[in-house]
Structure formats: C-alpha cells, structure tokens
Chain A
Amino acid sequence: MKKFLLLTVLVVAVLVVACAAPTPEKVTVKETVVVAGTPQVVEKVVTAPAPTAAPKPKVLRVNGGAFPDIIDPQKSSFVGEIAHLHLMYEGLTRFNEKLETVPGAAEKWEYNKDATQLTFTLRKSLKYSDGSLLNAMRFKFSIMRNINPKTAGEYATITNEIKGAEAWQSADLAKTSKDDLAKLEKAVDASIEALDATGKACKTGKDGYAQEDCLTLRLTFGAPAPYFHTVMGIWVAYPAKEENITAGKDIWWTSAKYHVGNGAFVLKNLEPYVRARFEPNPNYWGEKAKVAVEYSYITDSAVSYQAYKNNEFDIVGLAAEDLEATMKDATLSKQATIYPGACTFAVMFHQEKEPFTDKKVREAFAYGLDRESWVKDVLRGLGSPTLTWIPKGYPGYKEGEKRYSFDAAAAKKALSESKYGSVDKLPPITLTFSDTARNRTRNEWLQKKWKESLGVDMKLNPVDATTYTAMTKDSKTAPQTYILGWCADYPDPQNWLSVYWKTGAFSERIKYSNKELDKILVQADTTIDSKTRMELYAKAQDMLVADAAVAFAWNNVNSYMVKPWVKGIKTTPQDHWFPGDTTANTVDIDLALLPK
C-alpha cells in the first residue's frame, strides 16, 4: 500500500514538473569587469530581466475551425486550408471586394485575338517575405507543379486548359515510360513560358529564379479560355518556393520557415491544432497589412462563442444555435455580421432513376418545396432561398428568378401530368443523406413537407458521411434523390455552369445531359467579348432552370460575430475564415475601443 501511495506521489511530482511553467530564460551577456586592475570582457550567464512593457501589438484573434489537413498550394482544396494559404501568398491576379479580378503579382494581362494565349506581366521588383526576388519562373514552377501527376493535387485538373496539361496530368505513372513522361512534361513546359525583357526564355534553375527581368509569363491553351486570368487568382498558382519544398520534403508545409510567400502576411508560428500566427509582410507590394492575425482551431461553436463573449476572440463563426439569443441581446446583435456566402444547395434528382426520369415529376417536387419555410424553420434564418444556380454576389447571378417557386397546386398539377398520373402510382422514393443530427432534421423536414404538398411518402436513408460521398460520386451508385451543394472556386460563371453542368462534368453523377446547353456553354467559354459571354451564360442558366434538373433550394450565408473594434472589413461571398479575409490587408483594430 505504501509503495502504491509512493508511486502516486511520484507520478504527481513528475506530472507537475512536466507541466510546470518554463523558468525564466538564461542568457549569456558580455560584461566589462576589472580583473586584477585590467578591464576585461567576460561572458556571464545571467537570468534575463523581465521585458519592459512594449506597445500593445494589434492582433486580430480569429477562431477559424478545424485544423487543416494540408497547407500546400498545389495540394490543398478545403476552405480552412485556403484560409491559411490566402494570407501568405498571392496569385498573378486576385479578387477585390466586388469579386472582380484585379491585378495581383501581375500588374497586367492580355489575351491574344482568339484567347488561346494569355500573357501576364509581373510587377517589377516583386519580393518574397524574406526579401528574395519573385519572378515569372516562380509562377511557372507552381503551375507546372500543379499539373505534374506526381503532385496528385485535388485541383490538378483546374489548369488543364493549358495546352498539353491534361495529357501530362492524367498520365498513369506506372504505365507511362520515363521518356514519354518527359515528352509530356516538355509539351507543358512549352505552353508555360517565362520570358525576359527581350522576349527570350528565362534562364533555368537557380539562375532563373534570380533573373530580375524575367517578368513575363505566357500561357498557351488548347482551346480559347478567356476566363483563365481569374483561375490564376486562386491558390493553385501560389508561388511556394521550389527550394523550400525540396528541403522540407513532403512535410514542408508544416513548418513556418518553409512558408516564404508573397502575400500580405507572413506565417510566424504554426502550432498544429492550437494556433497559427501571421504577421504583416513588410515586403508585400501593395497596401500593407495593419494587424497580425492569430487563428485558433476550436470546433465546438458553444465554446468559441463563450470565448468571444469573454473577449478572447475578435471574430468567431455564429452558429444557428446561438443566433436567436444573439439577436435578442441588444449589444451582441449589433456585432452579428451576416451576408451572402459562396454556395448553392439543391435537391438532386437522378435523371436515370424512376420517377425522376420524368420532367413533370421533377417539376412537381420543385414546386412542392417551400424554400422560405426551409430557411426559417430549418436553417433558422442562416441562409437565403434560391430558385437559381449562381448565388447573389457572383457574376452571372440572376435577380428575380421566380420559376418553380413554392406552389402546392402547381406541384399537384405537374404530378398529375406526369406519366404516373398520381401519387399512388409513383415508385418508392428514398431520400439519402449523410447521417448527422443536422442532416436528419433537414431530411425529416423535407419528407414531411413533400408529404403535405404532394402527398408523397418518402423513405429516409441515412448513411455514413464517407459512404455518402462515395455514393454520390458515381452515377451508378448515386441515390434517387439527395441534397448536394456546390461552392465557388473562383468568381466566374464558367466555374458555376461549365464546370458543373456540361455533359460529363459534375452533373454526370445525376446523369444530367442537355446537348443544347452544352453547345451554349462551349460558345460562352470561348467567347472573348465579355458582354456576349455573360449573355450566353445567362441563357445557359435559364435553360438549366427550365429543365428542372434539380430543385434549387438555398444559398448559404457567412455568419460571424465581430467585435466593434475590428475595422476596415470588406466582406465578399468568397471569404474563407473571417469576414473580409479576401482583402485581409484592409482589416484594422481600433485600439481606442479595446476594453481596458
């Protein structure tokens, strides 16, 4: 027994020692002392004095969400991952507060006559955060790395417009010989040209990265791509340094020392799952950031909300559970920042699975969906109903779309006009969803409401989240009907319409195909005149809505709590982890408003 108690005490002692606060730092100082009448410089180890009070730095404390799985420009894909990259790096172009594509690292760009070539001219004397030169060769390396099949990034296909990119990116590394791979790489290399002031190819290797006049990047496409300057604003072309990726190997992205970027911020410290700290980049070419940004990774919204109320965060996400209490509070309600988001959600109908093969049935379900009540009852106001695909705030959004708005009588009429004639003749219909408490509520609501509006009895099929993803990826296993969304990669209708709704694209999972729509989208994607291009996309979206391929349901909203001392926020639907982070260098903190 005594031994047991002794052991316990020992463990406590060890634990306390292990957890103890660090002792004051020992430092070596040089002191001049008189030894035997002769002044001598000797080194002494002393305890560092307590630092004098420094001016309070401006730190924007943000609770983001889950710690990212990977923070590598050519391998990342999730919003939390991009939220980190976006602060540290900048593309050739960037997006302003109106989501217009504006110059980033490139001061201008130009397409050739048929938009099969895009030439960027980089700003002179661009620097990385460590002061080293940033030129066109760096961007060439990044784009090449994104295409390289060895990188195997989730967004590898997004640069496939570049001539030869698709063949190299999709090469099977085991079945393609080294010589053939080299040929494929060479073809892409010829399509991504870094040029000097005289129009000659820049040097290669280290010399190329040091070449100051290497400021032109020319991309050659397989087909006209007049939207591609916008694609070059997203993270896949962020110029991470080749030598840092090589030195840090596969885990280079875990260390702040390898994240030397060209964005408005510099990563100073990355403590996985706990905190990341970004400080203003003094070498950024544009408006300098005014605050340091500190990310935390609390995924429990109840805890982050308490921390916010305790003034431990300046910005946190506002969850639906806290919305009502927030709005009832006179002070907190003024701090709620709610604005349109980047995603559209729809109830998908599999076009080759009965009864949704019949357009009239799809119409009936679209009419029978009360989107206003959905937003009010289910989303508790954190969303906005929609009857179209491109959300508000994005180029191509159609104001005032009314087709298929909730109308129980029209729903029943459409069903009676279907080949089934009446509800009792419909085959069994199953709503499949990823099994979480939230999704269960949502789908039970849909089941109940369609019962009310159409009289249809639907079965619910909850499945594990990854199973759901696997099922919905393949048209053979894709459920009869299910909710799915799409969020913008970049602000261009091409990303909403062509990337999703062309035959064989993402809508393949529900086997949607409309040859007429395909023709218009191909025409739009290759039209250089901006006005005509937008008109074609508008026409395509009109056709899509008329097809009733799915029941467009709602757009998400970005909802945050923001302290009153946070100033300079310019929100966009494309924001990642805090309001205004698309243009995070404008965000400031008014120290006078900080609590004493």
Chain B
Amino acid sequence: MGQFLVRRLLWLIPVMFTVALITFVLMHAAPGGPWDRDPGRRQIDPATQINLNRQFGLDKEVWFDLDALKKGDLLGFFDTQFITYMIAGTVDGEWRCGFICGNLGPSYAQRGMMVQDIVLAPPEDAPIWNSKAGYSIRLGVLALLIAVLVGLPVGIIAALKQNTWIDYLSLFVATVGITIPNFVMGIFLIIIFAVWFHLIPVIPKDWSDPRYWILPAVVLGVNLMATTARLTRSSMLDVMRQDYIRTARAKGLAERVVIFGHMLKNALIPVVTILGPALVGLITGSFIIETMFAFPGWGRQYVTAISQRDYSMIMATTLVFALLIQLANISVDFVYTMLDPRIKLS
C-alpha cells in the first residue's frame, strides 16, 4: 500500500506540470491582458502599463528567452514567465521562488495581494477555516454529506420498491434535481424559506450560524444528490439480480444483512467513483452559490479570474483543482479496497 501511495504521489508531478503547461498556453492564447478593463472608462496609459508589466514580470518572455541565450546568458534563457511561475525566476529584478515553494503568484486584479493571501488567508483575527478556501471546503463537504445522506437512501429505497409509487416519486425528484439549474433552485428556495416563511433571512448576516449554511449547501448539493440517487438505484437493481444475493437469501440471512452487507457494499463502487471528483467540483464550483448568497468562498475568484485575465489566479486555481482531483482519486482507490476485498492496491 505504501509503495502504491508513493507511486501515485510521484505521478502527481508530471500531471501537475502538464496541467500547468496547457493552462499557460490557453491563458496566453486568449487576446487581451490583465490591464484591459471596462472599455467605457479611462484606461491605463501605455507608460504606466510598461511599469506595471515590469512589476508583475509580464515584460519577460513567456516560455524561453532566446535573446538571453544568444548573449550566452543561460540563466536568462530560463528566466521567463512560465518558469518563474512554476519554479523560480526574477520579477522586477528580484529573485522569487514559484509554485514549488507554495507561492501562487501576485493577483493582477487585486493589486498588492498574493493569490495565496486571497484564497488561504482568513480575515483579521479570524481562524484559518474562515479563509475563502476554508469556507468553500466546509460548504463543499456539507453539500456532499447532504447529497450522500439523502441520495443514497432514496436510491436504495427506490430500487427495493421498484415500479411502485415510491420509485416513481424518487425518480421524479431525482430528475427534477438534475434538470433544474441551481440558480433557479436557489431563488426558488429563497422565496419559500426566507420570503414566505421567514425561517431564515435572504442575506445571511453571520456565517457562524449553522442555519444559514443549509440553503446554499442544499442548492449546491442537490444535483449530486439526484445523481447519487439515480446511480445507487440502477447499481442496486443490477446487484439485486446477482447470484450471490440469491445465495445470501437462500442461506436464510436477514433482509437487513442482505441489503446492507451484500447489496449495498457492491452497489456503492460506482457511486464512490463519482463522489471523489464530485467533492472537488463542489468545493471549487460554488460560483453561483457565492453570487446568490454572498458566500465568501473562492469559486467566484475562479470564474472572474478568467475574464479579468488574472493569470496567477487562473494558474493557482487550476493547479489546486488538479491537485485536489488527483488526491480525491487516490482516496477513492483506498475506499474501493474497503468496499471490495478482491481489489488490491498494487
């Protein structure tokens, strides 16, 4: 298992490098730059732009500096935007260690701030879990729990009561959950619970109150909940027809043992496969939730960074997303072994 873990972790290096390379190519292929703001307002003048480019290291070559090589400056050849971001290089004449040192780069939109400060640093005198990443992780995990704790039982019951009104109702709910966009679902739930019944405010005043987390978590998790329910149902139906289930029943095992000990354990494998990456999606993909509920997570940064050409933020969020996906997949592999002893990590 240790060998497996080391091997998978080592694989992270080329995967991350490839993701970074592709992101960098796409990012710089898009026209415009971080200083191109609202065209209806005064624009940064060319002289200031030159100084800003230098301050942020945008005056350097993107990939390799051939002019430096011609002058015999090998270090200068590698002192480029990409290598400075990923490994190390100079910015405005000063050496700076890059991503490998945990430096996610300066934000171009929120000038003066480093991306790690924006995403990982909590507000003054607040604990770390009040950082943007902390908020997003907590909301993502809560949404996942709602999705699993509701989706799994619904899927199981629907399979056990196949072709009854319970099955049809759960299918209907699951279909609704998948098809209704979360911004529609969000406003719908706000109107019901905040405007009609006044159970919660539309705009939460204080995120330390757990009640305010329920609506955003439900809206964020409802799609995964529906997917989990449908997947569990179909997986359960598949397992129910297997010979070993018939054998378990023939042995005289209690129905509870048959369902939870034999059916569910096997039916969970495809569900677990989607849950890992889905959690990462929930953590980073809360843009609409953040917009609707003024939720202080980092999903908004992820989306606005693209239109703002905030290169460091785009790189950082993509790389962190890629890292989380990889770690989620490794975790899923471990869960497989818990669910099915036949699966070995090698």
Contact = CB atoms under 8 A, between A and B. Distances in A.
A303 B202 contact: yes
A421 interface: no
Interface in B177-207: 183, 186-187, 190-191, 194-195, 198, 201-203, 207
B213 interface: yes
A445 interface: no
B36 A469 contact: yes
A10 to B, nearest CB: 11
B37 A154 contact: yes
A473 B43 contact: yes
B145 A11 contact: yes
Contacts of B194: 306-307, 310
B32 A489 contact: no
Interface residues of A, number: 79
Contacts of A169: 47-48
Contact of B51 (A152, A469, A484): A152
Given A19-B138, A250-B113, A303 B187 contact: yes
B39 A472 contact: yes
Given A298-B203, A306-B195, A466-B32, 4 more contacts: A3-B338, A11-B141, A15-B142, A272-B123
Interface stretch (A171-179, A203-211, A379-387, A392-400): A171-179
Given A274-B294, A300-B291, A303-B292, A18 B39 contact: no
B14 interface: no
Contacts of B111: 69-70, 75, 250
A251 interface: yes
A271 interface: yes
The 10 closest A-B pairs by CB, nearest first: A250-B112, A470-B32, A170-B47, A466-B32, A307-B202, A469-B36, A485-B40, A467-B31, A19-B210, A470-B36
B323 interface: no
Nearest to B123: A271
Interface string B288-325: 00111110100010000001110000000000000000
Interface in A157-187: 157-158, 169-174
Nearest to A499: B42
Contact of B129 (A11, A18, A312, A468): A18
B39 to A, nearest CB: 5
B94 interface: no
Nearest to B35: A154
Nearest to A250: B112
A467 B292 CA distance: 27
B208 interface: yes
Contact of A77 (B32, B37, B145, B294): B37
Contact of A152 (B52, B59, B207, B292): B52
Nearest to B204: A274
A509 to B, nearest CB: 9
26 contacts: A11-B141, A15-B138, A15-B141, A16-B210, A18-B129, A19-B138, A63-B203, A75-B111, A77-B37, A152-B51, A157-B45, A157-B48, A170-B47, A172-B51, A249-B112, A250-B111, A251-B113, A251-B117, A298-B291, A303-B203, A303-B292, A307-B194, A466-B30, A469-B32, A469-B36, A471-B32
Contacts of B40: 343, 345, 484-487
A464 B296 contact: no
Indicate the member of B33, B293, B307 with the most A CB atoms within 10 Å. Answer: B307
B96 interface: no
Contacts of A63: 203
Contacts of A310: 194-195, 198, 201-202
A109 interface: no
Interface string A458-481: 000000111111111100000000
A173 B52 CA distance: 10
A325 interface: no
Interface in B95-152: 109-113, 117, 123-124, 129, 132, 138, 141-142, 145, 148-149
A21 B204 CA distance: 13
Given A3-B338, A11-B141, A466-B30, A487 B41 contact: yes
Nearest to A20: B210
Nearest to A2: B338
Contacts of A154: 37, 42-44, 48
A307 B138 contact: no
Interface string B234-257: 000000000000000000000000
B54 interface: yes
A306 B187 contact: yes
Contacts of B335: 4
Contacts of A485: 40
Chain A interface, DSSP helix/strand/loop, else mixed:
mixed
Given A21-B209, A470-B31, A273 B300 contact: yes
B111 to A, nearest CB: 6
Nearest to B300: A273
B41 A468 contact: no
Interface residues of B, number: 71
A592 interface: no
Contacts of B41: 77-78, 487
A214 B321 CA distance: 55
Given A158-B42, A302-B187, A473-B36, A173 B51 contact: yes
Contacts of B51: 149-150, 152, 172-173
A254 interface: yes
Contact of B307 (A4, A70, A466): A466
A345 to B, nearest CB: 8
Contacts of A78: 37-38, 41
B309 A152 contact: no
A312 B203 contact: yes
A489 B42 contact: yes
A12 B37 CA distance: 43
Contact of A8 (B145, B190, B265, B292): B145
A155 B290 contact: no
Nearest to A271: B123
Contacts of A345: 40
A147 B73 CA distance: 36
A306 B54 contact: no
Contacts of B117: 251
A534 to B, nearest CB: 23
B291 to A, nearest CB: 5
Nearest to B184: A302
A464 B30 contact: yes
A254 B136 CA distance: 21
B171 interface: no
A157 B47 CA distance: 10
Contacts of A296: 203, 294
B55 interface: yes
B68 interface: no
A72 B110 CA distance: 11
B112 A156 contact: no
A560 interface: no
A253 B38 contact: no
A466 B145 CA distance: 38
A504 to B, nearest CB: 12
A420 interface: no
A274 B122 CA distance: 13
